[in-house]
Amino acid sequence: MKKRNIEWALFTGLFVGIVIFLSEILIPNANFFISMAISGLSALIGGLIGNKIRFSQRKAKKINAK
């Protein structure tokens, strides 16, 4: 696995963990399906944010290399 993919996966996992932790605090008696929907959406959003951060870092390195 490339270093960038590992960073992206770690960011996504951390994002999902934080969102699930906050949802358990804010909605303690949530239905199982609501918890799964929150988990899935947070994974999707975290992946998109992580991908955007990864590409912006790559772009900055290309600009600095010139």
pLDDT tens column, 15-61: 999 999 999 999 989 899 999 999 999 999 999 998 888 767 666 66
Model pTM score: 0.76
Kindly tell me if the per-residue pLDDT of 1 is higher than 80.
no
Beta strands (DSSP E) in the chain are none
pLDDT of residue 5: 80
Return the structure tokens found at 4.
């960038």
pLDDT value for 58? 65
Domain ranges of the chain: 3-65
